[in-house]
Structure 1
């Protein structure tokens, strides 16, 4: 659920080259603040895919050896980041395995973003990188996914409802992504080793 300062109707916009610049700026701040705690920082999600329509919210994946809620929440809180409290922002199922995670919102009034802390080697790490890399590689899938999200946002402007409806469609998209990964020999490689 969004924090009160994040309440707004879902809006999916055309790709913005500024998203990559915003990711670099945020990644630099996280790198400085987290030091050795961060093993890699990747731009993930739709804003990481050139040419893909997305919500104007930069998603980042920060890999840590192991989630330590007290330490990581304190570390990011010192930067003003707010840990999202919902259960689905603490764990997710990926590849049939439950994976721990923490998701942080930016400081109030800062650039919209989500920082996803995940454990090195988890299937949820692979999922995020495969989603990004598949949509970067397959123009037809990228255009169809963007068009779907734009249409959905116009008819379902509530973020929670939007996410609930998008989730099963993501499963279908990821089935195609898995087929692509098998055909191409794709392997997950974090792009930002710290």
Structure 2
């Protein structure tokens, strides 16, 4: 699959809202949903894929068949990456990933409440929303990576993920300084 970064599209927030309704039909009771990733940061270039985080109390609560009925296919990816130099138990990185099978391109990342990988995308999203210089630099990095590695996802993520780990370090300091806490469902 070709990696292509596009300029921000006005419809990303509306597309998330439509997908949110569909996802909540398949979600376990009490789940929270957030628009995450670059399409959730106004003005940030991104792949034209809506990333959504569904937060659940326990991954065992997820009914894969319910997501399939809503036209989402479970992916084989089961763990998020661990930042270099950080040692985390596997439970802090586990997730279920669903990809849309038709209609709007979307990824649904199902993660457990309170885990490292559940907090990470929310903190980074909120940090980039309030730090336009960091967001613009991150957007430029993604554009250049996509130009250099348009057909090599492994190379793209081998560089992009550590760059994002640098961003999260700043985001953690920002979170402490302002008393950031996890936002309610979008």
TM-score where L is the length of structure 1:
0.85
Matched residue of 2:15: which SS?
A: helix
Shift of 1:189: 1.8
Uncovered stretches (5+) of structure 1, i.e. residues with no partner: 1-6
Aligned residue for 2:54? 62
The equivalent residue for 1:83 is: 74
**If each structure's strand is expressed as a fraction of its own residues, which one has the higher value?**
1
* Aligned mate of 1:184, from 174, 178, 183: 178
* Contact in 2 for aligned 1:61/1:117 (Cα 8 Å): yes
Question: 1:3-22, CA deviations, whole angstroms, 9 ceiling, x for partnerless residues?
Answer: xxxx2x11111111211000
**Preserved contact between residue 97 and residue 123 of structure 1 (Cα < 8 Å):** no
Shift of 1:50: 0.3
Which of 143, 151, 158 is residue 144 of structure 2 equivalent to? 151
RMSD: 1.7
Name segments (4+ residues, structure 1) moved above 4 Å.
Answer: none
Q: What is the aligned residue count? A: 179
1:28 to 8, 12, 21: 21
* DSSP-derived class of the 2:95 partner: strand
Q: Secondary structure at the match of 2:121?
A: helix
Asked if the contact 2:26–2:63 (Cα under 8 Å) also holds between the matched residues in 1, the reply is no
CA contact (8 A) 1:49 1:135 kept: yes
User: Structure 2: how far apart are the matches of 1:50 and 1:191?
Assistant: 18
